[in-house]
Amino acid sequence: MSTTTTSITAGVKEILSAHPEAKRDSLIPILQEIQEKQGFLSREAVVEVGKALNLPVSKIYGVATFYNQFRFAPQGKYHIQVCRGTACHVKGSAAVLDSLKRELKIDSGETTRDGLFSLEVVACIGACGLAPVINIDGNFHANLTSQKIPGIVNQYRKQG
Amino acid sequence: MVKLTIDGASIEVKKGTTVYQAAKQMGINIPVLCYMNLHHLGIENKPAGCRICVVEIEGRRNLAPSCSTECMEGMVVKTHTVRVINARKTVMELLLSDHPKDCLICSKSGQCDLQEIAQTLGIREIHAVENAAVSTYRKDVSPALNRDMDKCIMCRRCETICNKVQTVGALNAINRGFTAVVAPAFEQDLIDSPCTFCGQCVAVCPTGALTEFDDTRNIMKAIADPTKTVIVQTAPAVRAALGEEFGMEAGTLVTGKLAAALRRIGFDKVFDTDFAADLTIMEEGTELLDRLTKYLGGDKSVKLPILTSCCPAWVNFFETYYPTMLDIPSTARSPQQMFGSVAKTYYADQLGIKREDMVVVSIMPCLAKKYECQRDEFKVNGNPDVDFSISTRELAALIKTYNIDFVSLPDEDFDAPLGESTGAAVIFGATGGVIEAAVRTAYEVFTGKSLPKIDFTELRGLEGIRQATIDFNGTPINIGIAHQLGNARKLLDGIKNGMYNFHAIEIMACPGGCVGGGGQPYHHNDIEIIRKRANAIYEEDRSKPIRVSHENKEVLQLYKEFLGEPYGDLAHELLHTHYVAREMV
């Protein structure tokens, strides 16, 4: 077991120890807490939670993949949220998302191999006036088209 | 009681009855896809997810799913108005919109509930979905079963079977929307999951999403190869079910036709796994008596109860979930593997051929057998004792491919020397059968007397967990029986907690034992079929001249000529195995 695996498992055990006698109805709060502390849900974390709650790991994975909020890879240095709410959809957010996937060569929920970018699809982020909009670590990029995406990505790439 | 009207006729039903069940009682068959009810076995799946079973209820704005709507006093239900039929058609078109349309070459074709309902509803085109993307999920091929999730309609029957009935938890629904499928954790392959390969998910899948790994092509190739001697063994439960694939009534015994068909396919020798079942009793029975005598003599190091080990899905289950109890199951190999081991030593020697030139094929009601025969413990220098294991369904397909008119075949016998069997071996195919066979032999050897009665009806039936005490001439022997892995888990947890005091336990993974195996003809939710198959098995037992394993002449000959003593050194090497803890998530 590598040190990172050990520390992940230790961290999960610590979180779980705060939930003695936890049953399946505490599953989501526990997963949220783990993601908050560790940034994502690792395989080791999901397995540990399964042992503690006496639930099949496939069940926990099923619950976690149902909700957009959970991720299974560490976030990149720059975390890109793509709004797919109604207004953004009408204004062409699907093309924006496609362009991001092409440019970064990852799917939503994934992180680029160099660890620089991660991609997340979110429902409405409450900036409909700016549609279609993406949010990169608190910076909103508004009125996007797919053509604008490579330029924006390169800007962050240059910063490293 | 509740009184209601369905399609103009009134009916009175018990409170809690669903509209679907009430209609069924009246002979009205409402189509269902996700709904599954295997009563007697306590298996029910009703997520009301597919909406194909909707009906019109007077006074309600929306159509109601009949599978999960309870009958109410005075309810007026219509099951096939234009509105209902149009709704069903729309549901079906939506289900088909991203479903592959490769019915011509799908292995489930002709047995597929989705296909059948699409035809019944007269779907001829799928409106307004010209541009809909057809699902392209990664295929998962394991040695025993295949997952083609493009064909999954999210009925979640497999999830219910895997989690609630078998308590294995290998499969669960993941993702949402179009990408939702049923999958193992982290979308890993089945082979890396805790899957036991029991195949019950395949048995209940309404589409071609879950099917067995097809080995028939390899068998045809081996038969066509003149340098290979290809021999075949067939399990007890196969003869009680194969006929169904050819339009025969469930529970029709086709033992003789089965042997004839295998010969016509071109197998060089047609043998019987029942022979190896008798051999299993000699080994497992001797092991049971050995442990029992030591235990009753006060030896505290002896582990009891002894658990049967014929069922490969059960073996996978305890290796995964009870790694600390690996010393209580019998070390006896399953009949399939005992047969392979004897065939590639004793029989290959008799023929004067090398084991590499012999191909052993098994016909099994089971999918886990495919996994079992590939386990390293059952190989010698990489050459497996059993080369290929095919299901009852695959055999039926082979018979059809070879253009054999099964129904008009004459009855033929199995070949010697691995073809003789007793009634005790036949009943291996039904839950309780293995332990009954063991008790028949153990009783006579233990007491030195012949059995006062040969039928132990107290060990039979379809109840999930059964207990019986057999009087061994003054010594009470406590027997436990469980079928379906969830029941096995209850029994094992009970033993762990000291709740039970059994001497011997039989466990089978599938409902009803092997007759309800994952490789048997599809039962389409009709559990009576499994009961009829079990009855056929007991009928064959009654018709056998010899009904105790230790009187099988070919088996006794095998010990005399080759193996030596039951549970002896050579028997240990060839007929016993060991278990390894499996850590799977």
Looking at the complex, does the CB of residue A27 fall below 8 Å from at least one CB of chain B? no
CB distance A58–B172 less than 8 Å? yes
How far, in Å, CA of A48 to CA of A62, rounded?
A: 15
Among residues A66, A95, A118, the one where a domain terminates is A66
Give one DSSP letter per residue of B441-474, joined into a string: HHHHHHHSS--S-S--GGG-SS-SEEEEEEEETT
Q: What is the pLDDT of residue B177?
A: 84
Quick check: is B370 in a domain?
A: no
Quick check: is A71 in a domain?
A: no
Q: pTM (2 decimals)?
A: 0.91
Residues in chain B: 585
Among residues B75, B92, B120, the one where a domain terminates is B120
Taking a C-beta distance cutoff of 8 angstroms, is the pair B180, B154 a contact? Answer: yes
B189 chain-A contacts, CB cut-off 8 A: none
Quick check: is B407 in a domain?
A: no
Output the six-digit token pair for B414.
């199995």
Among residues B51, B85, B120, the one where a domain terminates is B120
Greatest alpha-carbon pair distance for chain B in Å reads 80
Q: How many cross-chain Cβ pairs, A to B, lie less than 8 Å apart?
A: 46
User: Same domain, yes or no, for A10 and A42?
Assistant: yes
Closest CA to B311 of B282, B277, B344, B345: B277
A50 chain-B contacts, CB cut-off 8 A: 585
CB-CB neighbours of A101 under 10 Å: 16
Quick check: is B487 in a domain?
A: yes
Closest CA to B537 of B424, B388, B442: B424
Q: Helix B216-224 crosses helix B392-401 at what angle (to 10 degrees)?
A: 50
Strands B172-174 and B229-234: unpaired
pLDDT tens for chain B, residues 1 to 585:
999 999 999 999 999 999 999 999 999 999 999 999 887 777 789 889 999 999 999 999 999 999 999 999 999 999 999 999 999 999 999 999 889 989 999 999 999 999 999 999 999 988 866 666 777 888 999 999 999 999 999 999 999 999 999 999 999 999 988 889 999 999 999 999 999 999 999 999 999 999 999 999 999 999 999 999 999 999 999 999 999 999 999 999 999 999 999 999 999 999 999 999 999 999 999 999 999 999 988 898 888 899 999 999 999 999 999 999 999 999 999 999 999 999 999 999 999 999 999 999 999 999 999 999 999 999 999 999 999 999 999 999 999 999 999 999 999 999 989 999 999 999 999 999 999 999 999 999 999 999 989 999 999 999 999 999 999 988 999 999 999 999 999 999 998 888 888 999 999 999 999 999 999 999 988 889 999 999 999 999 999 999 999 999 999 999 999 999 999 999 999 999 999 999 888
User: Same domain, yes or no, for A29 and A83?
Assistant: no
Quick check: is B352 in a domain?
A: no
What Å distances lie between residue B444 and B283, B448, B449, B477, B559, CA to CA? 15, 5, 5, 14, 19
Integer-rounded Cα Rg, in Å, for chain A is 18
User: Same domain, yes or no, for A134 and A88?
Assistant: yes
Q: What is the pLDDT of residue B14?
A: 96
Q: Which of B152, B172, B583, B584 to mutate to test the interface with A (most CBs of A within 10 A)?
A: B172
Quick check: is A30 in a domain?
A: yes
Range of the domain at A46: 3-66
**Who's near B300: CB < 8 A, 6+ residues apart?**
none
**Which strand (E) or helix (H) includes residue B384?**
strand B383-384
A55 chain-B contacts, CB cut-off 8 A: 169
**Which strand (E) or helix (H) includes residue A50?**
helix A43-53
Quick check: is B270 in a domain?
A: no
Taking a C-beta distance cutoff of 8 angstroms, is the pair B465, B507 a contact? Answer: no
How far, in Å, CA of A25 to CA of A45, rounded?
A: 17
Please list the residues that pair with B506 across neighbouring strands: B481
How far, in Å, CA of B110 to CA of A33, rounded?
A: 49
Q: Helix A3-17 crosses helix A27-38 at what angle (to 10 degrees)?
A: 140
User: Same domain, yes or no, for A45 and A86?
Assistant: no
| Number of independent structural domains in chain B | 2
CB distance A56–B183 less than 8 Å? no
Among residues B120, B154, B173, the one where a domain terminates is B120
Q: In chain B, what is the straight-line distance between the N-terminal and C-terminal CA atoms, in Å?
A: 47
Closest CA to B534 of B472, B463, B584: B463
Please list the residues that pair with B389 across neighbouring strands: B362
Closest CA to B480 of B462, B461, B505: B505
Looking at the complex, does the CB of residue A69 fall below 8 Å from at least one CB of chain B? no
How far, in Å, CA of B145 to CA of B338, rounded?
A: 23
Among residues A66, A93, A109, the one where a domain terminates is A66
Q: Using CB atoms, which residue from A55, A61, A66 is nearest to B186?
A: A61
Q: Which of A58, A61, A67 to mutate to test the interface with B (most CBs of B within 10 A)?
A: A58
How far, in Å, CA of B57 to CA of B580, rounded?
A: 56
A109 chain-B contacts, CB cut-off 8 A: none
Chain B residues with at least one Cβ partner in A under 8 Å: 163, 168-176, 183-187, 193-194, 585
Closest CA to B582 of B325, B319, B366, B388: B319
**A96 CA to chain B: closest CA distance, Å?**
20
Quick check: is B262 in a domain?
A: no
Report the catalytic residues of B. 284, 287, 310, 330, 369, 372, 377, 514
B168 chain-A contacts, CB cut-off 8 A: 56
CB distance A66–B163 less than 8 Å? no
Q: Strands, E, within B175-244: which ranges? A: 181-183, 210-212, 229-234
| Number of independent structural domains in chain A | 2
Q: Using CB atoms, which residue from A57, A65, A66 is nearest to B585?
A: A57
User: Same domain, yes or no, for A87 and A139?
Assistant: yes
Closest CA to B86 of B43, B27, B127, B142: B127
Quick check: is A72 in a domain?
A: no
**Per-residue pLDDT at A2 exceeds 60:** no
How far, in Å, CA of A21 to CA of B540, rounded?
A: 53
User: Same domain, yes or no, for A51 and A91?
Assistant: no
Quick check: is B15 in a domain?
A: yes
How far, in Å, CA of B540 to CA of B277, rounded?
A: 15
How far, in Å, CA of B447 to CA of B267, rounded?
A: 42
CATH of the domain at B437: 3.40.950.10
Q: Using CB atoms, which residue from B172, B175, B183 is nearest to A56?
A: B172
Quick check: is A55 in a domain?
A: yes
Residue B520, classed as helix, strand or coil, is coil
How far, in Å, CA of B544 to CA of B272, rounded?
A: 14
How far, in Å, CA of B46 to CA of B67, rounded?
A: 7
CATH of the domain at B86: 3.10.20.740
**Which strand (E) or helix (H) includes residue B358?**
strand B358-364
Range of the domain at B82: 2-120
Q: What is the pLDDT of residue A1?
A: 44
Quick check: is A73 in a domain?
A: no
Does ipTM exceed 0.85?
A: yes
CB distance B169–A65 less than 8 Å? no
Residue carrying the six token digits 């309780």:
B432
User: Same domain, yes or no, for A90 and A122?
Assistant: yes
Residues in chain A: 160
Strands B383-384 and B379-380: antiparallel
Quick check: is A131 in a domain?
A: yes
Quick check: is B500 in a domain?
A: yes
Nearest-5° angle of CA B403, CA B406, CA B410? 120
Chain-centroid distance of CA B46 in Å reads 23
Quick check: is A57 in a domain?
A: yes
Q: Using CB atoms, which residue from B163, B185, B194 is nearest to A61?
A: B185
User: Same domain, yes or no, for A120 and A145?
Assistant: yes
| φ and ψ of B472, to 5 deg | -90, 70
Burial class (CB in 10 A: 0-12, 13-18, 19+), B330: buried
Chain-centroid distance of CA B133 in Å reads 36
CATH of the domain at A117: 3.40.30.10
CB distance B174–A43 less than 8 Å? no
Q: Which of B163, B186, B493 to mutate to test the interface with A (most CBs of A within 10 A)?
A: B186
CB distance B169–A43 less than 8 Å? no
**A160 CA to chain B: closest CA distance, Å?**
31
CB distance B186–A43 less than 8 Å? yes
Among residues A40, A66, A92, the one where a domain terminates is A66
Please list the residues that pair with B141 across neighbouring strands: B146
**Per-residue pLDDT at A22 exceeds 90:** no
